[in-house]
Amino acid sequence: MKRKWQRQADGFTLLEVMVALAIISFALLTYLHTQNLSIALHNESANMTTATLLAKSRMVALESNQAPEQGEREGTFEDAQYAAFRWKERVEPTLFEVVLEAHVEVTWDDNRGRRSVELISLVVQR
């Protein structure tokens, strides 16, 4: 009597394992890419928010001044936390003698180049 040896399918074939690894690798790379993008967008959003708040604080200082000087000024923020940000303000006359146009721009550098936020407001001289 002859015995026939039957192959039992107790495991996965090499092809099945390689396809599963390829799918897992693709999913993991996609996940890591989205996490990296999320971190970059968070940093960009934080810088934009900080720059807007800093510009607003400079604008409030201009608006609270009884008679802001016309012309351009620029500088850095005193707080070391904001060392990456620079400000530039410009005060110009308008058609009305008691009204001035104030521009405040805050700039910073990131991996995409120079970025800026600009606020423009009308200031009434008292």
Grouped pLDDT means (10 residues each) for the chain, 126 residues: 64 93 98 96 95 96 86 94 96 93 96 94 88
Q: What angle do CA 115, 121, 126 make, to 5 degrees?
A: 140
Q: Judge whether 89 and 72 are in contact, CB under 8 Å.
A: yes
Q: What radius of gyration, in Å, describes the C-alpha atoms of the chain?
A: 30
pLDDT number for residue 118: 97
What pLDDT is recorded for position 100? 94
Rounded Cα distance, 121 and 90, in Å: 11
Q: What contacts 87, CB < 8 A, 6 or more positions away?
A: 54, 55, 58, 74, 75, 76, 77, 104, 105, 106, 107
Domains recognised in the chain with CATH numbers: 14-124 (3.30.1300.30)
User: What's the pLDDT at 65?
Assistant: 84
What is the DSSP code (8-state) at residue 7? -
Predicted TM-score (pTM) of the model is: 0.76
